[in-house]
Each structure stands twice: as C-alpha cells, then as structure tokens.
Amino acid sequence: MSDPTSSLPRLSRVPRGPGGPRVPSASAGGEAPAAGDLWDTVDELWRWLEANRRADGDEEVLLRVLKLSEEVGEVAQAVIGATGQNPRKGVTHTWDDVRSELCDVVITALVALRTLTPEAREVFTRHLDRVRERSLST
C-alpha cells in the first residue's frame, strides 16, 4: 500500500541554531509586524508554530490540517451552548463566543494553508476570485 502522505509538499525548514529554534524576523529591522495585517500575522503565527513544532515533515502538515476539525468542533460546541440545546447544561456560551470560535477556524485554516505553501496569500486570493466569479456572475 502506498504512503498517503507521499504527495504532500515538502516544508521549508526554520533555521535552528544551538540553543533551540530561531524565528526569522518579519522585517529587516527584526520587528514583528503590527497586529492587523492579516497575511503578516499569518506568517508570524506560522513562524512561531514552526519554531515550536512537536513533529516534523508530513506529520506536522497533517496535524495542522487536523487542527481545523478541533476548531470546527469548538464552533459547534459554542452554537449548542448559545442556543441551550443541551438540556443538562443549558445556555453555556454567547454568540460572541461563536464569533470568536469562527475566527479561530479562519486563522487555523490560513496558517494551515501557509504551512502548505509560502504563497498562501496568492493561492487564497486566486481561489477567492474564482469563488466570487462563480457565485456572483449571474
């Protein structure tokens, strides 16, 4: 049986020096990007995960994609909690919790995409353009 992960892209590696992983700086001055720029923040989070990863290669890729399932489950839990659908627990969450969990799904998906390709911004933009064209050109 063939290895199902054999077609996964090879990851670029974060430089590691004596004393542990090093996180490449986001700018020439070594300063982290200001919060608010989506793709700079995605890159920053990706670098942080790379520097602190527990697995290597294909296993790391699969775990980052699998993390999406966990985050989607947390959205479901928040919706159930916000609507009181579990009679034993009652209302345990708010719609702000649901919004927050949805944001976590988006962030996790973008970081997983960045794990698969350094051109995540371009890949996402091209895909979004195709979805917009397909959906709105009626």
- Whether 24 is in a domain gets the answer no
DSSP code per residue over 27-63: STT-PPPPTT-HHHHHHHHHHHHHHT-SS-HHHHHHH
**Could you list the residue range(s) of the whole structural domain that residue 90 is in?**
59-138
Q: Give the pLDDT band of residue 138 (cuts 50, 70, 90).
A: confident
- Check residue 137 and report its DSSP letter: -
List the one residue out of 42, 102, 34, 111 whose CA is nearest residue 72: 102
- State the residue for tokens 């004393």: 19
Helix ranges, the chain (H): 38-51, 57-83, 95-116, 120-136
- Whether 49 is in a domain gets the answer no
Task: Output the pTM of the full model.
Answer: 0.74
Comparing 74 with 27, the larger pLDDT belongs to 74
First to last CA, the chain: 45
Other beta carbons within 10 Å of 113: 19
Is residue 125's pLDDT more than 80? yes
Report the half-sphere exposure of 118 (CA within 13 A, side-chain side): 7
Report d(CA 33, CA 58) in Å as an integer.
Answer: 28
- Whether 134 is in a domain gets the answer yes
Q: What is the pLDDT of residue 32?
A: 54
Which phi and psi (to 5°) does residue 132 adopt?
A: -60, -45
- Whether 43 is in a domain gets the answer no
